[in-house]
Copies of this chain bind each other. A is one copy, B any other.
Amino acid sequence: MREDLARVDQVILANIDSGVPLIPKLARHIIAAGGKRLRPALTLLSAKLCGYSGQRHIHLAACVEFIHTATLLHDDVVDESVLRRGNATANDVWGNKASVLVGDFLLSRAFQLMVSDGSLQVLKILSDASAVIAQGEVLQLSTANNPETTQEQYLEVITAKTATLFSAACELGAVVSERHEEEERLRKAGLDLGIAFQIMDDALDYAASQATLGKTVGDDFREGKITLPVIFAYERGNAKEQAFWKRTLEAQDMRDGDLDHAIDIINKHQSISESIALAETYCDSARAQLAHFPAGAEKDALLETIDFCTQRAY
């Protein structure tokens, strides 16, 4: 698995090369800066879980990481973020223009890699995923600054923008192995894991310490992004608390001490622990999909990935 991931990195590095020097420079900054490679790992593990012994999973894992990276670059522009994984974001270093255009390049390069792979089924899975991700991002934009966003709307956003790629990453493992009877099971496992992952990510934005998070604590709050901790706290809040959320998130009138106060209200309503509890139910559902597969190193690694999701340090 470590070897396979190293080969995915080789494919990634070979394919961000370009006659235009800014492209590998910027792409290397975000790709090579030590991401978790969670999504490509899902493709590799799913393929091995299905008994795959070829090489296609390496290239498809690289495609998945390219699509993810393109999304990250555009996300950071959209969110005006300055920190990612503890480093300055590409948009902060090279400007928004370069981030938008290099993101376009990486998405196109992902499709070129898929075309080399030559499977229309793979192309369908990943082009569908890519369109759904973009729709999820636009939907998230539409719910921004509205603290009356429901849990259902929130789940719709994170399913589209995050879980869809986890789902596709897992499904590809069954596809390359030609184990069509496992496609739906792995697709569902990836979807549940992705939902759990994003719920935890959003909880950590209010609950993590700055040192471990690798991005700025409270980014979502400052941007007026509506995530599960806020939705729980708003639903359960008294009139004074709801007015606070409306002033800060909706009217974007931010004052000193507001983030600390937001965290206090969130904790008062157990919004973090309830977020984690909801994430756990999705993890359980993902584990249930895997129950069917035979025991072994790949299954253990996938189960560890699911565990990691709700047990990330914060």
Contacts and interface: CB of A to CB of B under 8 A. Distances in A.
Given A104-B137, A111-B111, A115-B120, A20 B142 contact: yes
A124 B117 CA distance: 11
15 contacts: A70-B104, A71-B104, A77-B96, A77-B97, A77-B100, A78-B96, A78-B101, A96-B96, A104-B107, A104-B130, A105-B131, A108-B130, A111-B131, A115-B120, A115-B127
Given A74-B100, A100-B77, A100-B78, A138 B20 contact: yes
Nearest to A107: B107
Contacts of A23: 135, 138
Contact of A97 (B78, B103, B123): B78
A217 interface: no
Nearest to A160: B20
Which of A70, A98, A133, A134 counts the most chain B CB atoms within 10 A?
A: A134
A20 B112 CA distance: 28
B107 A138 contact: no
A62 B292 CA distance: 43
Contacts of A124: 112, 115
Contact of A141 (B18, B22, B109, B138): B22
B104 A134 contact: yes
A111 B23 CA distance: 22
Given A104-B107, A112-B128, A115-B124, A138 B74 contact: no
